[in-house]
Structure 1
Amino acid sequence: MVQRLAAAALLAATTILSATAVHAQRPSPPPGPLTDGFLCCNMRTYGDSISDINYDEQGTSIVPVGTPARITAYDFRFFNLDLAGKPQRIKNDYSRNITLIDFAKRYVVTEDPKRKIAGFPPAVGAAILAGKVMPGMTREQVLMALGYPVASENPSLDAPVWRYWRDSWSEFQVNFDAQGLVKDVAGNAVALSRVLAAAP
């Protein structure tokens, strides 16, 4: 009986130590600033979660560029935030070659993009608010309209081509000229119908 009790106690102690070791090995979430600001760009939410791929899928809804935003916490592959009073998280699904802190800084900016949009030509401002792009737009204006292209496929934002996806099957590319302005947008008909603004 004593031996059985001792064995049971040893097993319980081993289990506790193993669980403690596993817990201790899990890295802490990276610290980061709990920034108050604004959403950089039009992003699509699945209700309470946003992915950096920003698919335009059925069941998603747009959180508009310039929405008041506050980062509330960081986790391992996403950060939590309050968007105009609604809790959300933005997941780093396809941009893991940049740090989570730098990832968060992309999406929560300190200057209200809507102030900049108000100073753009009316056709450009209207396109951004509709989540569309048009020839002549700057890189900043494309970012406001479509969000960031995922870093895994676009390691440099200075590249002449940015690759985006509206869904798993509809890729499109935004092509820039030597001055960094949109030259054209290429892709299949479905993608272009969703992202290309009509000529003014």
Structure 2
Amino acid sequence: MDNNARRNGLCTLGLIALLAAGGAFAQDRFDGYLCCNMRSDGSWISDSNYAENGKRVIPAGTPVKVTGYGRYRVKVEIDGERQAIGNDYSRDLDNAGFARRYVVVEDPKPTIAGWPPKVREAVQRSKVTPGMTRAQVLASLGYPISSENPDLDADLWRYWLDSFSEFQLHFDAKGRVSGITTDPSTQNRVWTP
């Protein structure tokens, strides 16, 4: 086999691999709903979900269209606006798994509507109240960063309100929020007794 034939063969294999990868990405494009309250600066939603000034909360259950993928990001369309959900701190998840974590097929709004009034109010305000289940905390605050919280059945979840304001949620044996550990300022911003 001469060099030209070998190059053509390799180019063909590369093209087949590229088309197969493109097909895999095309399969992961789907419509769904935000799993949880997420904060956006207008174009970027980080998995850290920081509550920095200028960020608006996009409520759980908002319709979302997954349009593609980039390096550590899922490209989406929300209310006609292009956004990216950035996998900034949960890189143990691949793009497809990361996308399916935040964009769910079933609308969570009917489930949220069935929760007790105090829990619904906490979720609407992106806060936590004692007695919330893990699912209710996820709807309100989003997922805790997977690199710091590899086990969602753990008794403690670590969150960050911003780069310097960590808070830890404690769950009892029944999987309900039993307390919070943080500084008073952060507690006032995230906790509803």
Q: What is the TM-score of this pair, normalised by structure 1? A: 0.82
Q: Please say if 1:68 is aligned against 2:49.
A: no
The one-character-per-residue Cα deviations of 1:112-149 (angstroms, maximum 9, x if unpaired) are: 11110110011111110110111110000000000000
SS at match of 2:50: coil
Q: Which ranges in structure 2 are unaligned for 5 or more consecutive residues?
A: 1-14
Residue from 34, 39, 44 that aligns with 2:34: 39
SS at match of 2:160: strand
After superposition, the CA RMSD in angstroms is 1.6
Q: Please say if 1:87 is aligned against 2:64.
A: no
Q: Take 1:70 and 1:164, find their aligned partners in 2: how far apart are those partners?
A: 27
Q: Take 2:37 and 2:47, find their aligned partners in 1: how far apart are those partners?
A: 11
Find runs of 4+ consecutive structure 1 residues off by over 3 angstroms: 27-30
Alignment partner, residue 55 of structure 1: 50
Residue identity matched to 1:186:
T
Q: What is the TM-score of this pair, normalised by structure 2? A: 0.85
Q: Please say if 1:100 is aligned against 2:104.
A: no
Matched residues, number: 173
How far 1:84 sits from its partner (Å)? 2.0
Residue identity matched to 2:172:
D
Q: Which ranges in structure 1 are unaligned for 5 or more consecutive residues?
A: 1-23
Residue identity matched to 1:99:
D
SS at match of 1:126: helix
The one-character-per-residue Cα deviations of 1:65-86 (angstroms, maximum 9, x if unpaired) are: 1111110101121011111222
Q: Take 2:186 and 2:96, find their aligned partners in 1: how far apart are those partners?
A: 31
Alignment partner, residue 190 of structure 1: 185
Residue identity matched to 2:38:
M
Q: Take 1:35 and 1:184, find their aligned partners in 2: how far apart are those partners?
A: 37
